[in-house]
Amino acid sequence: MQAAKKRRDPSIRSRLRRIVLAPTSALIVLWLIVSGYLAYGAVLQYTVSRGTEQMLIPAALALVSVMDERSATIAHLEHPADEGTDGDLEAARADADERMTEVIGRFEGVLSLSPEPVQQRIIDLRNRFDEISDIRALVDSRQASRGDVQEYYNTLMQAGADLFDEQSRHLPNERTVGPALSATYVFRALDLLAQSDAQLSRAFSTGELTREDQNEFIRLTGAYQGMIEAVRDYLGPEETAALDDLRSSDEFGQLTQLTGRISDRTVGSEVDVLTGETTEVLTMPVTEEEWRAVYLPAKEAYTGIGADQARYATEIQNAVTARTVLTAVLGSLGVAVVSALALVVSTRSSKQVVARLHRLRDDTQELADHRLPDLIRRLGRNEPVDVESEVPGPGGSEDEIGQVRRSFNAAQRTAIEAAVQQARLREGVNRVFLNIAHRSQTLVHRQLRLLDRLEREQEDPDQLTDLFKLDHLATRARRNAENLLILGGESPGRTWHTPMPLIDVLRGAISESGDYTRVKRQRIARVSLHSAAVADVIHLVAELVDNATTFSPPHTKVHLRSEQVPNGVTIEIEDRGLGMREDEFAAANALLETPPEFDVMRLNEKMRLGLFVVSRLAQRHDIKVRLRASPYGGVQAIVLLPAGLIAGGTGSASDSEAPELPAPDETAPSLPFTRSADPRPLRASEDGRDRASNTGDRFPVPPPEIVGGDMLDQPAEPPAEAGPAAGKLSRLPQRVPGVNAFPGYEPEYEGTTPAEPPAAPAEPPAAPAEPPATPTEPAPPSGGRPPLPRRVPQVNLAPQLVEDSDGEPSPAGPAGDTVEDPERPMKLRRNLTAFQEGTRKGREDGRKRLNDTEKDS
């Protein structure tokens, strides 16, 4: 089968032609868009012009017919027996129905094309007019009051005026808005004049003008006159002249005179000669015929002025429409001509520069494909870079292409200099972080040694509890300092020389967490870790445990378990917090799998510093760390320690036995690391008092079944006969020299070593003929402190349980008849002498450490 021919790459000339055609095509598209926009504007202006002419003026006339119906309805209410009012009412209703139905139908035809505010006004007008049948029925049944009729018709007229106003404000041309609004205000003034006429209907029927009707008439006429005066300056020239002619006519003068007579009418009073009562004289100063003779011509004149003003606005809109259409045509032709010229000029220019562009293309490809990537890689490796030798010189021609070449060189120089400065800045920031971390670590180590001395000398349980808490906080501060060292590329100062059991490593990690009492240890693999990985595994697990306790409710537990698998050992940390989203899990696992270069800008509010630390530590020892959702809704962190980190043996005795200690229900590390290695957490005793865990210098005390006999021989509490010094001290944990010093646990930065076991005491002197009833206390040491309480074995036991020197129990006898062992005083003396020698040795070691601490500080 014949292979398919390779597609030929286009030439530079073709590419340049495409580059030329791109803006030309864009210009053509722009021409089409501009032409379409101008055409749309022209069509819109024409539609608005036709709509204004066909809808605005008929709508205004229709609402005038509604005004007439309002006046006829009120007259009918005031003259129910007058048959003439019935005929006028029927005629007014028919005229209003015909006009309003036609206008509302037109408005509904353009409802979908209108702006949203205009649509709402059209709907309001339609809804108000739909209610007219209800008010008419009430009028016909004599159930409607004058106030109800006025309220409805005034609301209907207000809805029409609001529609005109909204239409005027949404006209597409600002020159049309002013005249259209002026027509709306003329219509509003006409409505006020019609309301004043309706207000006089009752006075014409009764011959009396009440104070309320007079005041309302004054308000309405004043409002209409003020509105006419305000809108005069915004009318068209012909409309202004028509308004001036109306105001100078005889009819308008008579209307003004009658309005003044009604407004100035004073209320008189007369006294009834028979009853002596005083009544008000509310005589109507104007007859209905006089008022109608001047009111109707004025209303017709105002109606004509409003309609003419609407036509004037339509004429302006028509003129704007004509200009818009002309602009659309000329603009479209102009853009077409410019597009054609641009195409011709661009094509000719491309032929002249194609050869030089070939050379510029080759040079640019060499720079982009080879030199710049190699330079960036060298900067990433912190290799020295000479900017002058890397950037080409300013050669080239002086024309535009030469200027482009020099611009490329200048941009390259700026980019390289910026990259060099950024590399130096990162290196400097890294050095500052490392310096701060080293200083903080040194201070924390001194603080821990000082706390160690204070804990050894303190005998008050409450004070000792606070010291243990401070010890814990200092250890966490040390871990924070080590975080900076790890992020800076260095290793923490703690190292081990022998493999350590995994149970002890996990205890140390738990003790470095903030809320260690919530951690529930379960089954732990019986393996040991190589010494080189102990410190980093402690730090890694501590960060994960701290994260689990921080982001889970305080009443929940954090479960920690370990299991040996074919590929190594797994450690699982599971909390029951709120959990994370899928995208957050994906981002965190990607960071843990491939640690990026540490950048402060990556530390936003969702990205935690601990993830960077865990990622660095995991990469250092090929440890796999992955986060996933827990079945309880929280987060489960799985750590896979590779087989290369596992020591060959099963570890120390604590490795094989510690998991069996108190059942997997314990909720806190029983005995975390202490002193300069780790904090000593506190545990509440059964009687409610806080006491310190019995910890040693470096590692937690091993289980009783793996501790030597010297520790098991020590009693838990001093005897009651120890004297007054045994008050509070009886509750303190007793240190046993040599018990806590596990083999192989020797941090390099730790300057001290575990206290040696006390030397065998010298042969005690011969016992006196009769031993004293109670052993004498040794003299206090040179420091002035009283000796520690001394214990007398079996002094508090029942007589039946006391053993003799051969280990056999004493025979039971009557109370108080205990058989005296003649060698017992000598045994007690030897035991107390050995105990005193051990405490003396311990104080000497403490003074030596105190001297070392004072030298450091």
Which helix (H) or strand (E) element contains residue 271? strand 268-271
Cβ atoms of 446 and 478 closer than 8 Å: no
Specify the higher pLDDT residue, 775 or 14: 14
Instruction: Answer yes or no: is pLDDT of 420 > 80.
Output: no
End-to-end C-alpha distance for the chain, whole angstroms: 86
Looking at 458-515, list the stretches that DSSP marks H as alpha helix, in order from N- to C-terminal side.
461-487, 502-511
Half-sphere exposure of 112 (CA within 13 A, CB side): 1
The CA-CA-CA angle for residues 720, 726, 727, to 5°, reads 100
148-162, 213-227, 609-623, 647-661: range with lowest mean pLDDT: 647-661
Indicate whether 330 pLDDT > 50: yes
Residue pLDDT, tens place only, 550-571: 889 999 999 999 999 999 999 9
Cβ atoms within 10 Å of 702's Cβ, excluding its own:
23
pLDDT at 500: 92
pLDDT tens-digit profile of 373-415?
787 777 766 677 777 777 666 666 777 777 887 887 787 778 7
558-565 and 568-574 strand pairing: antiparallel
**Residue-level pLDDT at 852:** 55
Residue 625 has pLDDT above 90, yes or no: yes
Mean per-residue pLDDT for 705-715?
34
Read off the pLDDT band of 640 (50, 70, 90).
Answer: very high
State the average pLDDT over residues 66-82.
81
User: Considering only CA atoms, which of 755, 700, 670, 751 is closest in space to residue 448?
Assistant: 751
pLDDT score for 683? 35
Residue 761 or 89, more confident: 89
Local confidence band at 833 (pLDDT 50, 70, 90 cut-offs): confident
Q: What is the DSSP letter of 730?
A: G
Q: Which residues contact 478 (CB under 8 A, 6 or more apart)?
A: 441, 444, 445, 448
Pick from 527, 522, 484, 485: nearest CA to 505:
527
Cβ(155)–Cβ(189) below 8 Å:
no
Average pLDDT across the chain, whole number: 73
pLDDT for 671 beyond 60: no
Say yes or no to pLDDT of 690 above 50.
no
Higher-scoring residue by pLDDT: 533, 610: 533
- Taking only the tens place, the pLDDT of each residue in 755-811 is 333 333 334 444 443 444 444 444 444 444 445 555 555 545 445 444 444 444 444
pLDDT exceeds cutoff 60 at 720: no
Burial track 628-652 (b if 16+ CB lie within 10 A, e otherwise): eebeeebbbbebbbeeebbbeeebb
CA-based R_g, the chain, Å: 52
Residue 316: CB atoms within 10 A of its CB come to: 21
What is the pLDDT at residue 623? 94
Q: Does 635 have pLDDT greater than 90?
A: yes
Q: Which residue has the higher pLDDT, 600 or 816?
A: 600
Q: Which pLDDT score is estimated for 722?
A: 35
Residue 489: is its pLDDT beyond 80? no
pLDDT at 66 over 50: yes
Q: What is the mean pLDDT of residues 318-327?
A: 79
* Confidence at 178, pLDDT banded by 50, 70, 90: confident
The residue with greater pLDDT, 514 or 580, is 580
Q: How many other CB atoms sit within 10 Å of the CB of residue 223?
A: 16
pLDDT tier at 737 (50, 70, 90 boundaries)? very low
- Which range scores top for mean pLDDT: 66-75, 423-432, 522-531? 522-531
Task: Tell me the C-alpha distance between 47 and 39, whole Å.
Answer: 12
Cβ proximity of 194 and 67 under 8 Å: yes
Give the chain's length.
857
Mean pLDDT of 108-131: 84
Residue 602 pLDDT > 60:
no
Confidence of residue 703 (pLDDT cuts 50, 70, 90): very low
More confident of the two residues 855 and 712: 855
Give the pairing type, strands 519-521 and 568-574.
unpaired
DSSP state, residue 729: G
**Span 1-5, average pLDDT:** 49
Helix pair 288-366, 57-78: axis angle to 10 deg: 150
579: left (phi over 0), alpha (psi -120 to 50) or beta: left
pLDDT greater than 70 at residue 183: yes
**pLDDT for the residue numbered 808:** 43
> Per-residue pLDDT for 477 more than 70?
yes
Query: What's the confidence (pLDDT) of residue 841?
Result: 79
Asked whether the predicted pLDDT for residue 13 surpasses 80, the reply is no
pLDDT band at 741 (very low <50, low <70, confident <90, very high): very low
Output 808 or 192, whichever has higher pLDDT: 192
Give the C-alpha separation, 507 to 657, whole Å. 14
pLDDT digits (tens, 9 = 90+) for 232-246: 888 888 888 988 888
Is the pLDDT at 364 greater than 60, yes or no? yes
Q: What is the pLDDT of residue 678?
A: 41
Cβ density class 772-806: b for 16+ within 10 Å, e for less: eeebeebeeeeeeeebbbbbbebeeeebeebeeee
Each residue of 145-168: pLDDT tens digit? 888 888 898 888 888 888 888 877
Percentage with pLDDT > 70 across the chain: 72
CA distance 546 to 635: 13
pLDDT, tens digit, for every residue of 243-287? 888 888 888 889 889 989 888 888 777 766 677 677 777 888 888
Band (pLDDT 50/70/90 cuts) for residue 504 is very high
Q: Which of 15-24, 60-69, 527-536, 724-733 has the highest mean pLDDT?
A: 527-536
Report pLDDT for 158. Answer: 87
pLDDT of residue 526: 93
